Chain A
Amino acid sequence: MSADDDLTLMVVHATDCDVGVDAARVQEVIPLERWTGEAALDLVQLAGAAAAEGAVRILVVARPGREPLAALVSGVVSLRHVARAELLAVPAPLAAHVRWVSHVVVSDGKPPLLVLDAERLAA
């Protein structure tokens, strides 16, 4: 399997799922106390969970043709490698309602992973 067949995601843990951001798009990881930009989007809250204890950081996520997205994460941030074939696109009827998730990954023995759709999120 080539590297192109895999995607590396920066992952934070919510209550019943993980939320991932394409690591290749993460330009910077900044401690919250050093963040001077506008209000960031809380990824764990977006996933419907309470913030985890631990360090709070801002992931600066590149978006083609737009300002980068500032995503706030709390707790452990880990890397998870998934095969692109495992990425299941959110079906159209649901995508009309849920603009923050592009794909889901369902693997046996692991929490489901929701992949952030940085491009469809409002600025």
Chain B
Amino acid sequence: MSVGVVPAKLHDVWFVVPASAVQEILGEQRWVPIAGAPAEMPGVIAWRGRAVAVLDLGPLSGMGGLPPGESRRRTIVVHVDDATLALPVDGVREVQEVPDEAVRKAQLTRLRHAAMEVELDGVPMPIIELGELLRTLAPAPAA
């Protein structure tokens, strides 16, 4: 068995997101900052007739957030749990199929919300756990 992943780059750091979560990969997108929003989710983009929350991995990886008025070259739109999120990144590669046994506990990478990693072309890349990340940033309201 194998798992599909989409490698993406933020500054010089590569990571992967599960391909099954990816809805679309867009070019540079204008985004709307909203005052009071957390640095990891600083605003929205318009996508397919609705507003989608921007998920900025910069603050999570210690690389600083996306300043208002700036954007990144690519935007990965993902669907996780019941939410759609837009991840601005600096680069994206094609989907890679990796065997299950190549997915291992994070040893060479350190990133919050990425307990596992894969190695692609000799580069270890953390696997972003989008569901866990979303649940941390926007916990479900108490019943």
Taking a contact as CB atoms under 8 Å apart, the answer to whether A91 and B46 are in contact is no
B44: which of A96, A99, A104 is its contact (CB, 8 Å)?
A104
What is the interface of chain B, defined by CB distance below 8 A to chain A?
Answer: 30, 32-38, 41, 43-44, 46, 49-53, 68-69, 82-85, 134, 137-139, 141
Q: In whole angstroms, what is the CA distance A90 to B38 when docked? A: 14
A50 at the interface (CB under 8 A from B): no
Closest beta carbon of chain B to A20's beta carbon, Å: 13
Chain B residue numbers with a CB within 8 Å of A114 are 32, 34
A17 beta carbon closer than 8 Å to chain B = yes
Q: Check if A93 sits within 8 Å of B44, measured CB to CB.
A: no
Confirm or deny: A106 has a beta carbon within 8 angstroms of a beta carbon on chain B. yes
Residues of A in contact with B, size category: 20 to 34
**Given A46-B36, A94-B34, A104-B46, 10 additional A-B pairs, CB 8 A:** A17-B32, A90-B44, A93-B83, A94-B43, A94-B44, A97-B36, A97-B37, A98-B36, A98-B37, A106-B46
A104, B32: Cβ atoms closer than 8 Å: yes
How far does the alpha carbon of A47 sit from the alpha carbon of B32 in the complex, in Å? Answer: 12
Q: How far is the CA of A110 from the CA of B37 in the complex (A)?
A: 22
Q: Which residues of B contact A101 (CB under 8 A)?
A: 34
Using a CB–CB cutoff of 8 Å, the interface residues on chain A facing chain B are 16-17, 46-48, 85, 88-94, 96-101, 103-104, 106, 112, 114
Residues in B whose Cβ lies below 8 Å from that of A90: 34, 44, 51
Q: A88: which of B50, B82, B83, B141 is its contact (CB, 8 Å)?
A: B50
Least distance between B30 CB and chain A CB atoms (Å) = 7
Candidates B35, B51, B53, B137; contact of A47 at CB < 8 Å: B35
A97 x B138 contact (CB < 8 A): yes
Specify which of A90, A94, A104, A114 lies most central, judged by the most chain B CB atoms within 10 Å of its CB.
A94
Write out the residue numbers on chain A whose beta carbons fall within 8 Å of the beta carbon of B141.
96
Residues on the B chain within 8 Å of A112, using CB? 32
With a cutoff of 8 Å between Cβ atoms, the chain B residues found around residue A97 in the complex are 36-38, 41, 138
B134 with A93: CB separation less than 8 A? yes
